[in-house]
Structures are given as C-alpha cells and as structure tokens.
Structure 1
Amino acid sequence: MSVIRTPDERFENLPGYHFAPHYLTLNNGLRMHYVDVGQGDSVFLCLHGEPTWSYLYRKMIPILAQAGRVIAPDMIGFGRSDKFTEMEEYSIQMLYDTMGEFIQRLNLTNITLVCQDYGGVIGLPLAVTLDERFARLVIMNTALPTGDRPVSEGFKQWRDFVSRVGREMVPSKLMEISCVKKEQLNDEILAAYDAPFPDASYKAAIAALPLLIPTEIDSPFAEKERQTREALKTWHKPALVMFSDSDPVTMGGDRFFRKLIPTAKNYPEITIQNAGHFLQEESGEEIAHTILEYL
C-alpha cells in the first residue's frame, strides 16, 4: 500500500480559495483534509464528487457560513487529502468508511448534507446510517446506483471515456467540457482543479471511481445503495432536490428523488438553469442562497 501527498505549494494562491487547511489523521493512518469555516449548532457538510475536490464549493462556503459551520472535506484520493497510488486500493466502501469515521471523529451533528455526484453516492447512505447526526438533505446532480436499474446513457459514455483515458484524465479539461458558462472559467480556475494531481501517480482515484459505480445487482456496494433507497422512502426530515438543466450524466435524477423522498415534495421543483454537471462551479452563489432560503 503506497500513499502519496500532494505538495502544499500546489495549493498556493488558488483563486477564490483562501481557506485555512485542517487535517484529521484517520485510524488507518491516512490524512484527510477539510475546510472548516463558520460557527453555530448547524453544520453544512459539503461533499464533492469525481474528479473534483473542496475547491468546487468555494463560492458556496462563505454564504452558507453566514448560517452555521461549513465543513468541506476532500475524500481520500482527492484535493489535499492523502492518495493511494494504486487503483485497486479504492472502493466505494473505503470512501464510505473513511467519511463515516471523519463525521464521527469530528462529532458532527445537526448536519445538512450538501452533496453532488459521488458525494451523494457516499453521502446519502451515510445520512440514513448515521440518521441521528443528519437533519437535512440537499441533493444535486447525483444518483443511487443500486445495480437493479439501468444507468443513464450519459453515465455509460462517461464510464467508457474514463476506461479509455485512465490516468491521462485532466480534470480541468473535463470541467471545461462540462460547463455551460465557459466564459466564467479562466486558466487560473481550471488549473485549480488540476492542482491535486501533479502527475499520473496521483490520479489513481479519479481513474478508478467511475468504474466502481454499481451497475449490476451483485456489484460491490449495490446492496448498500438499495438499503439507502428503501430508507429514503420514509425519510421525514427536510430534503431539497436541485439538479441542473444541462447534465447528461444525471438528467432525470431530480424526478427520481422527488418521487422517492416524501419531504422533497414540500419544496418547489428547483432546476438550476444554464449549468452542467458541476453546478456548484457555475451557480454556486445561487445554490447557496437557495439552500438558506428554504432550509
């Protein structure tokens, strides 16, 4: 098991990201990085996905911090957190276990889960398993890949792309392709998405994760996703669903979650306009203000 750590200088002077780093050393010895801003009894736990990191939430963090404490961790393999060098070291179960330990070690309670992409794949099972710690859900551009229902054509194309490029993936290029408002992106912002990955040895996680999504009924972690789906059918706490209008990977998922979760019907059907898969990058301020308005 070989583990590497992205040099600190890679994270210097990133535009819009001036948060002091915080670290937790997990029981397995890996170091997890997180942003910790704001105060209060309410916690906004912002979980990123693939192939991003907490930088994706930089526009939302100061706004949410007006209403409570904001925690934005980097999953193992991403951002400033430690990274395995081998793809075989990664599993959804490992990411679930390490994030669960993170939540419990920091003793986070009264949590509003803010999740997108893999942040939902991992975060929603955690919310129903650690039910007493979670108070609200904000679900964006994600899915519950249970293996007993077909994945979208957009996801199949994404998985096929990753299987071809592997460690040659360049997160900034993916961000540029996925965004609708390309004029908002500049070279410095795009470079920030590449910052955690100086070379291919750092890219095991981003090459592995799309291939781990359960697509068969007996896929690893598929049963956990099915249990989560069943638990969400009786979820009685607030749940706000916000998907973007231009994401081919998760398109239609908003209808699935609004139908699945009883309390999601208590809120308007909000669609973030003119935004692709990474809606936090394109519409972060709008999303954060909407969360505060309704929750």
Structure 2
Amino acid sequence: MQIIAHDPARFTDLPDYPFAENWLPIDLGDGLTARMHYLDEGPKDAPPLLLFHGEPSWSYLYRKMIPLLVDAGFRCLAPDLIGFGKSNKPDDPSFYTYARHVDWLKQWRNAVVPDIAGLFCQDWGGLLGLRMAGQEPGRFAFVVASNTFLPTGGGKASPGFLAWREFAKSSPEFRIGGIMHRGCQSGLSPEEIAAYDAPFPDEASKAGARAFPQLVPIEDDKDGVADNIAAWQGLAGFDKPFLTLFGEDDPVLGQTAPLLTSRIKGAAGQPHAMLPKCGHFSQEDHPRALSDGVIAMARKAGFLV
C-alpha cells in the first residue's frame, strides 16, 4: 500500500480559500504514519468550533462559513479527514474502516483541541462527530448537525443512499467535483468544481472516497453497529443545545432529522429547520443559515458571548 501526499501545485489560487495550512502527524496503525491537514482560523483563545466534513468533500466546503463564524467570535478548526483534501491518502480502499476514521480524528482532536468545543457536522462528519459526542458528551458544548445521522443497522436506508453507495462502489468514473456540483442546489462555478477535484488527481487518490459509503453501518452485520449503539446512550442523554438544519432537497439524508431530534434530550424545543433550496452539501447552499444556527446554539449554551 502507498500513502499519497498532496501535490501543492494543484491547490494554488483556490477561490475563496485564503487559509493557512496546519499539519499533524497521525498514527494510522500497522506501523504507518500520515500527515493530517487542518484549518485553524480565529484567535487561539476564542471558543473552539469543530467543523467536520464528510464524503467526498474536504475543508474547502467550509470556506463560506469560516469568515462568518470567526467574525462572530469563534476559533474555527476544520480538519481534512485522512484520505481527503490535503491530508495523506492510503491508496487501498480496504485499509479504511469506520473505527480507524474515528481513531484518526480523535488523535487530531486530542492534540489540537483537547478542551470543550462546539461541533458542526455534516454527512460522514456526523457519523464521526456524533459518535464522538456520544462517547464523550462532556467535551462538547453544543452540536449543530446537517444532513447526517448515526446509524445502528436495521437494514433501512433511503433509495438515494443505496444508489449513491452502489455508484461509489462500481462507477468507472468518479469525478469528485461533479459529484459536489450535483449535490448543491446553488451549483458551483468551474473554478469551485476544480477546487473539489484538486485532492483527487487519479483513481488511487480516491480510495478513501470510494470506501466511505461502503462503511455506513446500515446492515446489522456491518462494523460500527455495536459502537454506534453504545454511543447512542451518551448521545440520547446529551442535554446541551442540539440543533438540526437539514436540506429539504437532499435525497440521501434529508429525511433523517427527526431520527435525531426525537431521541436527543438537548434537541427538545430547539428551532430545527428544513432549509429550502438546499441539497446534500448544505454548507454550499446555506452558509449563512448554518452559521446563524451555530452562533445561536453557542450563545444558548453560554459558550459564546
């Protein structure tokens, strides 16, 4: 197996992405090490906010939200998951597991943001972040979730997700920028599509993106079911502000918000919303509404003045 480093030449002059690079070595297991890239914007002593991306995006997805959130008083931290963005990419799809992704992200969080933090998560950012919040609820001040869930088997999934999983597995063409463009209601410019393509110059670099949909624990025999069931015990009792802002035009996860709001204590009485003209990648379609939701929950939690 090879571990692919990013090509800096592919990341020059990205539109609306003026952020400084930050890096952390991650123990991948099996004696392997990788570099994880992340954004760290805003004053170091400001309330930290974790911004977790999903599939098949990277921290570029948060370029519209970060300036709004920094202006509101946050320190914004947005990692590129291993296999995505500027982070290193093992080229073997079978090397990626749910448990490893959680471990890699926890290594980053423990090193960079060990104290209590707020969380915004979407897609696989939620499958990772919600599990972490369920396992260690005391380390999170509030949560805002968009187009995500924490599945525990049962064999139920939307037709949109099942179609996406099969496409990611078997489609001979897997163009990340085009996928991102189709997942937005507002659309992307050619330059933005190229920015989403930048981390993935060839098939080997897409191993993590190909693998992610196959790892979702929908079926009872999938790895991760038992861990998510255990995490739900802590997540259900999470009594700090928990808000869902989902896209009404998301065919993959747009209908899962009630599965979160009905089970999580801190979700009661919050102004949950289905955002109009909003696809799967809500950060592209409604950055202001999502940022306002984060700010409101942080203030309600007493985390942000």
How well do the aligned residues superpose, as a CA RMSD in angstroms?
1.4
Any conservation in 2 of the 1:80–1:196 contact (CA below 8 Å)? Answer: yes
Unaligned ranges ≥5, structure 2:
299-305
Deviation for aligned residue 1:41: 4.2
Equivalent residue pairs, number? 292
Deviation for aligned residue 1:229: 2.2
Deviation for aligned residue 1:2: 1.5
Corresponding residue for 2:284? 281
Corresponding residue for 2:136? 130
User: How many percent of aligned residue pairs carry the same amino acid?
Assistant: 37
Corresponding residue for 1:2? 2
Any conservation in 1 of the 2:137–2:234 contact (CA below 8 Å)? Answer: no
Corresponding residue for 1:58? 63
Any conservation in 1 of the 2:54–2:124 contact (CA below 8 Å)? Answer: yes
Any conservation in 2 of the 1:22–1:33 contact (CA below 8 Å)? Answer: yes
Which one of 142, 146, 166 corresponds to residue 160 of structure 1? 166
Which one of 115, 122, 140 corresponds to residue 121 of structure 2? 115
Query: Residues of 2 paired with 1:237 and 1:290: CA distance?
Result: 14
CA deviations on 1:31-68 (whole Å, 9 max, x unpaired) are: 00000001234211000000000000110011111222
Which one of 23, 29, 36 corresponds to residue 32 of structure 1? 36
Any conservation in 1 of the 2:136–2:234 contact (CA below 8 Å)? Answer: no
Corresponding residue for 1:251? 254
Query: Residues of 1 paired with 2:130 and 2:236: CA distance?
Result: 12
Any conservation in 2 of the 1:43–1:108 contact (CA below 8 Å)? Answer: no
Query: What SS does the aligned partner of 1:161 have?
Result: helix
Deviating runs (4+, > 3 A) in structure 1? none
Query: Residues of 2 paired with 1:55 and 1:285: CA distance?
Result: 16
Query: Residues of 2 paired with 1:128 and 1:237: CA distance?
Result: 12
Amino acid at match of 1:22: N
Which one of 191, 199, 202 corresponds to residue 202 of structure 2? 199
CA deviations on 1:68-101 (whole Å, 9 max, x unpaired) are: 2100000000000000011111111111000011
Corresponding residue for 2:303? none
Deviation for aligned residue 1:187: 0.4
Any conservation in 2 of the 1:235–1:262 contact (CA below 8 Å)? Answer: yes
Query: Residues of 2 paired with 1:288 and 1:234: CA distance?
Result: 25
Deviation for aligned residue 1:136: 0.9
Which one of 192, 208, 213 corresponds to residue 210 of structure 1? 213
Deviation for aligned residue 1:269: 2.4
Query: Residues of 1 paired with 2:135 and 2:183: CA distance?
Result: 32
Unaligned ranges ≥5, structure 1:
none
Any conservation in 2 of the 1:48–1:74 contact (CA below 8 Å)? Answer: yes
Q: Matches of residues 218-257 of structure 1 in structure 2 within 5 Å?
A: 218-257=221-260
Q: Matches of residues 83-94 of structure 1 in structure 2 within 5 Å?
A: 83-94=89-100
Deviation for aligned residue 1:242: 0.8
Query: What SS does the aligned partner of 2:278 have?
Result: coil
CA deviations on 1:109-140 (whole Å, 9 max, x unpaired) are: 22111100000001111112233321111111
- Is 272-281 or 209-218 further displaced after alignment? 209-218
Query: Residues of 2 paired with 1:4 and 1:163: CA distance?
Result: 21
Residue 263, structure 1, aligned to residue 260, structure 2 = no
TM-score (normalizing by structure 2): 0.92
Deviation for aligned residue 1:149: 4.8
| CA 48–126 in structure 1, closer or farther in 2 if over 3 Å, else same | same
Amino acid at match of 2:248: D
Query: What SS does the aligned partner of 2:257 have?
Result: helix
